[in-house]
Amino acid sequence: MVGSRAATAAVGVALSLLVTAALWWYFDTLLVFLLVPFVPFLFRRLGDDGPTVVQECPHCGFQATVESYDYCPRDGSRLEPRDGAN
C-alpha cells in the first residue's frame, strides 16, 4: 500500500514532468530545462527580508524570531526585547 506522502510526491513529480514536457513542446527548445529551476523565484514574496527578530541575547547575540523563547539556548541568559520590536 502506498502512503499519502508517497502518493503526493508521485503526483507532484508526474505533474512537474507534464508541465515541463508541455513547455518544451510549446517553446520547441531544450532551454526550458534551464529555466524550470528558477520558477520558485517567481512565487517568492517581494520585499520579504526574512523573519523579524523579536528578542536578542545581550551576551552572545542569539536572535529569537518568536516570543516563546525566554532564555538563550547557548548561555542561558534572559533574552531582551530588540530595539524596534513591539
The per-residue pLDDT string of the chain (86 residues; one tens digit each, 9 = 90 and over) reads 678 888 888 898 888 888 888 888 888 877 777 766 776 777 766 656 667 878 999 999 898 888 888 899 999 999 998 875 54
Number of structural domains found in the chain:
2
Are 34 and 56 in the same domain? no
Output the pLDDT for position 52.
Answer: 82
Torsion sign (Cα): 64, 68, 71, 72: negative
Range of the domain at 74: 51-86
Q: How much is the pTM? A: 0.40
* CA–CA distance, 55 with 86 (Å, rounded to integer): 10
First to last CA, the chain: 50
Indicate whether 11 and 35 sit together in one domain.
Answer: yes
Residues 56 and 33 in one domain: no
Q: What is the maximum span of the chain, computed from C-alpha positions, in angstroms?
A: 61
Residues 59 and 86 in one domain: yes
